[in-house]
A and B are shown apart, each in its own frame.
Chain A
């Protein structure tokens, strides 16, 4: 069904609507707009049935997203990044204003606007109402968090607010889905009036007193402040307990990722081997049997086992994001970040880099100044992303003894993992410091960060996050890793002599590998590790798949696991050099593409790739040479 509406023109000279129907059109696009962290994406997900990422800190949405309204495919809903005022200060705000004004290429100018306001903080939220109503588009004002307003003893006269603003208002709860019928009633109306213009629009100096009067007329009573947020802040921002908790939380994350994650990974590994042992004998043709067992199963399976530790890591990141602690961590880290020339806002994308560098690079849009943004984007690939985890876990489990200290609370393997994360972070902040004191111009934008109220992480949000990350990981394994593993299997078995596949050492892969081996020798790597490194430039996880396929094809390694096969080719100094190389190198085509897109230039990704590769090579070479003489 197409909804017919009449837009009524506003007389801008007087600031009051003349309410004359001027044209009829259909509502096809509705923009969802509001201040950061007021629940736009929660409402968007509820109305469209999509799974846009939501979390409890300002600036989660940095790009516009379009979805069809559930049950009515004729209406598109556009979820916009949060905006605070008329003048955009960051790239995500620029995107929102461009879409609203119809200046965004490829996006139609919205026919109507859903303006979302936070009911627990209406004073600041109303400041945005004036510039949005001034756009002259049919606007429905949705006052969200009705449940929090009522639970905190607050109140609001919706009819009075509607009369004061000259636009329809609905008090809703996006999280619980309360009163959403008002949205459908708005869309079903045959005639819409353009909103009455508020008297003064341009500055907070004038719009805030106007907002205060509006609140008085609407008998708005602010809900009580959460005593729990204050108590939690007393602890999390305490001079001693705050930083200690941050360190303890990080240790717990790595201990769990390595301990629990590795146990689950071993279970999956046993399961996969059990299945392979049952299926392989059923395949009569030896070439096909080798293709299945060595190429497909060992290649893909050796990466697949790392799904549990990766999901555990994302579970911890999700809890940090959804609880509201992430913004506090940004405040705690601000002084440290200041030494590098960055500010605490850069901490949030840097932390997101522990999951994946691509969304983290996009998240830098909230950072504000161009200089801070470029410096943050440049160093994000140093943050240990989840794709490095399979390589780290494999090598640490194979070479680092499973010892523990302090009554078993701290394990050597978990400490090694923590050390690699620390190495990446150290490289990131040092590089940022160098960049900020050399090629990037000085920033003058002040550091301001809104701290959200704490809340219990939503089970649904965390589940959706884990399902999404599992889907991304399995897609990567099922496409890139599978393709690389099969290619490696083909190259390691060619050429065929008299109907027999070539031995590994005489294969085409070995031929290529031996040519690059001299360049790898200073780091202590043989040609097989070298070929693994080459394939890791497609995607980091692919290295484990490549090693699985290569060592799986060796008759001597067939009966043993990949870890024990690696122990025949690598010493402890070689392994540490390999870990250092992985911690510092930029082996990810998706990150390269994201940098190209966000900087709109080839210069930055090429410089980043060359710098990180050079640094990784040098550091791995030094690590191997120094440790070989000591150990």
Chain B
């Protein structure tokens, strides 16, 4: 899903949004929502590879869309678009802005 269908997805997640405890995983971000990568990232085994794509603590990351089947998910960080599989995104912790 990409850009256009964000309202539907946000409506589905609406109830959960209200009560989400921070931090969350990267794949929990809604379309166009921005989070900030957390420190826990450094404990993952491929931290250096993830860092080189911009997934380092403190880096703002915005979910901008996904592949037609919903996976991989596409994020914008440091001015570039990076596609990440959900299984990888689930291991990256982010701080979400409180609603």
Contacts and interface: CB of A to CB of B under 8 A. Distances in A.
Contact of B84 (A204, A327, A445, A447): A447
Interface stretch (A23-31, A232-240, A563-571, A589-597): A232-240
Contacts of A332: 67-68
Among B78, B82, B88, find the residue whose CB has the most chain A CB atoms closer than 10 A.
B78
A334 B85 contact: yes
B71 interface: yes
Give the interface size bracket for A toward B: 35 or more
Nearest to B44: A446
B48 A87 contact: yes
A89 interface: yes
B35 interface: no
B52 interface: yes
Contacts of B1: 239
Interface in B57-96: 57-59, 64-69, 71-72, 74, 78-85, 87-88
B50 interface: yes
Contacts of A327: 83
A513 interface: no
Interface string A192-218: 000000000001110011000000000
A122 B31 CA distance: 25
Contacts of A239: 1, 5, 68-69
A121 interface: yes
B81 A234 contact: no
Nearest to B45: A444
B82 A449 contact: yes
B56 A204 contact: yes
Interface in A77-112: 84-87, 89
Contacts of A262: none
Contact of A344 (B3, B49, B72): B72
B32 to A, nearest CB: 11
B78 A446 contact: no
B46 interface: yes
A120 interface: yes
Contacts of B4: 234, 238
Interface string A220-261: 001001000010011001111011000000000000000000
Given A208-B59, A237-B2, A447 B85 contact: yes
Among A86, A121, A204, find the residue whose CB has the most chain B CB atoms closer than 10 A.
A204
B67 A237 contact: yes
B82 A205 contact: no
A449 B83 contact: yes
A243 B68 contact: yes
Nearest to B3: A234
Interface residues of B, number: 38
B78 A344 contact: no
B74 A331 contact: yes
Contact of A208 (B56, B65, B68, B83): B56
A451 interface: yes
Contacts of A448: 49-50, 53, 82-84, 88
A238 B68 contact: yes
A233 B2 contact: yes
Given A205-B51, A446-B85, A123 B79 contact: yes
Interface string A429-444: 0000000000000001
A331 B51 contact: no
Contacts of B65: 233-234, 237
A243 B1 CA distance: 12
A335 B67 contact: yes
Contacts of A238: 2, 4, 68
A327 B74 CA distance: 12
A450 interface: yes
A209 B58 CA distance: 9
A118 to B, nearest CB: 9
A343 interface: yes
Interface in A287-337: 327, 331-332, 334-335
B93 to A, nearest CB: 15
A448 B4 CA distance: 23
Nearest to B79: A121
Nearest to B46: A446
Contacts of A87: 48-49, 52
B29 to A, nearest CB: 16
A445 B46 contact: yes
Nearest to A446: B88
A262 B57 CA distance: 57
Contact of A451 (B49, B59, B82): B82
Contacts of A338: 85
B71 A335 contact: yes
B2 A234 contact: yes
A124 interface: yes
Contacts of A243: 68
A237 B66 contact: yes
Given A124-B78, A205-B42, A446-B50, A335 B84 contact: no
Contacts of B69: 239, 335
A89 B51 CA distance: 12
Given A121-B80, A208-B59, A334 B51 contact: no
Nearest to B77: A124
Nearest to B82: A450
Contacts of B57: 205
A366 to B, nearest CB: 13
Nearest to B76: A225
Interface in A486-527: none
28 contacts: A85-B48, A87-B48, A89-B49, A89-B52, A120-B79, A203-B48, A204-B56, A209-B58, A225-B79, A234-B4, A237-B66, A237-B68, A237-B74, A239-B1, A331-B83, A334-B72, A334-B85, A343-B85, A344-B83, A448-B49, A448-B50, A448-B84, A448-B88, A449-B82, A450-B81, A450-B83, A451-B80, A451-B82
9 closest pairs, A vs B, by CB?
Answer: A84-B52, A204-B51, A446-B88, A85-B52, A124-B78, A451-B81, A204-B56, A237-B2, A121-B79
Interface of A: 84-87, 89, 120-121, 123-124, 127, 203-205, 208-209, 222, 225, 230, 233-234, 237-240, 242-243, 327, 331-332, 334-335, 338, 343-344, 444-451
Given A335-B67, A447-B83, 9 more contacts: A87-B49, A124-B54, A203-B48, A204-B48, A233-B74, A331-B72, A344-B72, A446-B50, A451-B82
